[in-house]
């Protein structure tokens, strides 16, 4: 099992290039099978989740041609199997986007029902509500969602909770339904807009993505396109908080600063200097930072995917911070690990009270999930001494060349897989 070993104490300094948004790319790749023509997609992050989804897409008969690490050509003409197995769903929940894509194009899909996961129970009732409203017969049998329709017909659908996944999944199916679909109380995340833009570039007629109401006039067919995925706001934010926590000076390049507003606001509140450019943001952290409160909310609120990164940073800020997680119930596991590094935290329900400490001391910790894993690496980079992060397979699901990018900023971090590697690293840095 691979681990990261980190020698903390070096401020991160320099420029880092941000890749394409994983969560936009996952939905876009699924939507690519909705045409019989070839679709070219660029600026994909080269991370495990993307590779698993590409395997699932090839597995149902689509042709998948990897042009290079960040680009792929997909042709959905050969799709002959409408069944996505549990193995894929277990590895990557976003395989459920194939439900909306297959149902939209072929009016039929069978996809293993995703279970809960490390960050919470994660129901998909709103996805199913949307498909049913469009006229699909949706049953759950033997652990599978089986969705079928003679025809899908546009409807007025009100989502009971704001869900990124349900918004995108139902939007995909409605793109090829008959007539007008109106989706209300939808998610406004930048990746929802990106998927709508992608579908429109294939000939779909989707308006309003990025607002509370999306209107979709169904079309009979979609066609070829060439598309570049938007930059990953969460990868960018992760490096911005890494700069803050290590008292560094980092410029994240190839970003859309507008997507980073909530992150920038919190960095300013705790006392960082932030400079915005057209497609870059510089974060400078000098001296001791001060506490603040944060509550995760759907976009444009503070993202749940950035909660562990800000939590780690606040644990080093002077004063008492309150972090409230309102999206997923199980996203505080990293705080127990952080306490082992000296953080002073108390969790009650969906809130954590964090009393800032002067510093962390390196320890062996475990990544409970993707974002929490990245946050623990930030803690290790800010800590005194050596930190070992276990279960980094979670981090590799969503961060491309994570340790290489941190190293390019002066972080001392290696990916290791044996006690021998750990001894070698320890000798080298001591």
The distance in angstroms from the start CA to the end CA of the chain is: 24
The dihedral over CA atoms of 126, 127, 132, 133, expressed in degrees to the nearest 10, equals: 70
Residue (192 or 316) nearer to ligand EPZ, CB: 192
Residue (26 or 274) nearer to ligand EPZ, CB: 26
Rounded Cα distance, 365 and 175, in Å: 45
- Least separation, in Å, of the C-beta of 87 and ligand EPZ? 18
Residue 378 within binding range of ligand EPZ, rule CB under 6 A: no
Residue 325 within binding range of ligand EPZ, rule CB under 6 A: no
Stretch in the footprint of ligand EPZ (CB under 6 A) among 66-74, 214-222, 297-305, 309-317: 297-305
Q: Which of 328, 334, 394, 399 binds ligand EPZ (CB under 6 A)?
A: 328
Rounded Cα distance, 159 and 126, in Å: 6
Which tokens hold the place of 15? 């420029």
Residue (239 or 425) nearer to ligand EPZ, CB: 239
Residue 138 within binding range of ligand EPZ, rule CB under 6 A: no
Q: Which of 10, 43, 48, 163 binds ligand EPZ (CB under 6 A)?
A: 163
- Least separation, in Å, of the C-beta of 284 and ligand EPZ? 27
Rounded Cα distance, 413 and 29, in Å: 32
Counting Cα atoms < 13 Å in the Cβ hemisphere of 186 gives: 30
Q: Contact letters (x/-) for ligand EPZ, 168-207, by CB under 6 A? A: -------------------x--------------------
Residue 165 within binding range of ligand EPZ, rule CB under 6 A: yes
Footprint on residues 109-128 left by ligand EPZ (CB under 6 A): 119-120, 122-127
Footprint on residues 392-411 left by ligand EPZ (CB under 6 A): 398
Residue (110 or 232) nearer to ligand EPZ, CB: 232
Please name the residue that has the structure tokens 């800020």.
Answer: 317
Output 116-121 pairs: Cβ under 8 A, ≥24 positions apart. 117/93, 117/369, 118/330, 118/333, 118/368, 118/369, 118/394, 119/328, 119/330, 119/331, 119/369, 120/328, 120/329, 120/330, 120/331, 121/329
User: By CB neighbour count within 10 A (0-12 exposed, 13-18 middle, 19+ buried), where does 165 fall?
Assistant: buried
Q: Is 117 one of the annotated active-site residues of the chain?
A: yes
Of 117, 253, 272, 317, catalytic: 117
Rounded Cα distance, 402 and 384, in Å: 21
Stretch in the footprint of ligand EPZ (CB under 6 A) among 158-166, 206-214, 216-224, 338-346: 158-166
- Least separation, in Å, of the C-beta of 259 and ligand EPZ? 13
Ramachandran area for residue 120 (φ above 0: left; ψ -120 to 50: alpha; else beta): left
Residue 26 within binding range of ligand EPZ, rule CB under 6 A: yes
Instruction: Give the CA radius of gyration of the chain.
Output: 22
Residue ranges that bind ligand EPZ, judged by CB under 6 A: 23, 26, 94, 119-120, 122-127, 161, 163-166, 187, 303-305, 327-328, 370-371, 398
Active site residues per annotation: 117
């Amino acid at each position: 099992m691979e681990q990261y070993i980190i020698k903390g104490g070096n401020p991160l300094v320099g420029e880092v290039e941000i890749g394409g948004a994983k969560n936009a790319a996952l939905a876009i790749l699924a939507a690519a099978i909705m045409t019989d023509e070839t679709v070219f997609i660029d600026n994909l992050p080269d991370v495990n989740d993307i590779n698993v989804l590409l395997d699932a897409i090839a597995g149902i008969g689509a042709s998948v041609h990897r042009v290079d690490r960040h680009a792929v050509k997909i042709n959905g003409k050969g799709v002959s199997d409408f069944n996505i197995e549990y193995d894929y769903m277990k590895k990557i929940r976003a395989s459920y986007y194939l439900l909306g894509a297959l149902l939209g194009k072929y009016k039929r899909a069978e996809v293993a029902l995703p279970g809960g996961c490390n960050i919470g129970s994660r129901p998909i009732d709103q996805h199913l509500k949307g498909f049913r409203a469009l006229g699909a017969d949706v049953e759950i049998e033997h652990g599978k969602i089986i969705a079928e329709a003679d025809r899908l017909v546009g409807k007025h659908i009100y989502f009971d909770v704001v869900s990124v996944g349900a918004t995108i999944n139902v939007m995909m199916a409605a793109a090829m339904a008959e007539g007008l679909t109106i989706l209300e109380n939808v998610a406004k995340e930048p990746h929802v807009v990106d998927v709508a833009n992608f579908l429109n570039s294939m000939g779909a007629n989707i308006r309003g993505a990025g607002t509370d109401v999306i209107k979709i006039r169904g079309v009979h067919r979609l066609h070829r396109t060439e598309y570049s995925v938007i930059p990953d706001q969460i990868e960018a934010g992760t490096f911005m908080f890494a700069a803050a926590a290590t008292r560094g000076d980092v410029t994240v390049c190839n970003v859309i600063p507008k997507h980073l507003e909530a992150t920038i606001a919190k960095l300013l509140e705790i006392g960082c200097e932030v400079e915005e450019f057209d497609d870059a943001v510089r974060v400078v952290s000098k001296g001791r930072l001060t506490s603040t409160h944060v509550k995760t909310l759907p976009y444009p609120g503070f993202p749940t995917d950035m909660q562990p990164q800000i939590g780690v940073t606040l644990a080093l800020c002077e004063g008492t911070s309150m972090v409230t997680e309102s999206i997923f119930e199980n996203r505080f596991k990293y705080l127990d690990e952080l306490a082992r590094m000296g953080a002073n935290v108390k969790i009650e329900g969906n809130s954590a009270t964090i009393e800032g400490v002067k510093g962390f001391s390196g320890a062996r910790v475990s990544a409970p999930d993707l974002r929490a894993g990245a946050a623990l690496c930030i803690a290790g980079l800010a800590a005194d001494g050596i930190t070992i992060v276990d279960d980094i397979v979670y981090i590799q699901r969503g961060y491309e060349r994570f340790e290489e990018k941190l190293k390019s900023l002066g972080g001392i971090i290696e990916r290791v897989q044996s006690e021998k590697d750990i001894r070698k690293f320890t000798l080298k840095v001591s």
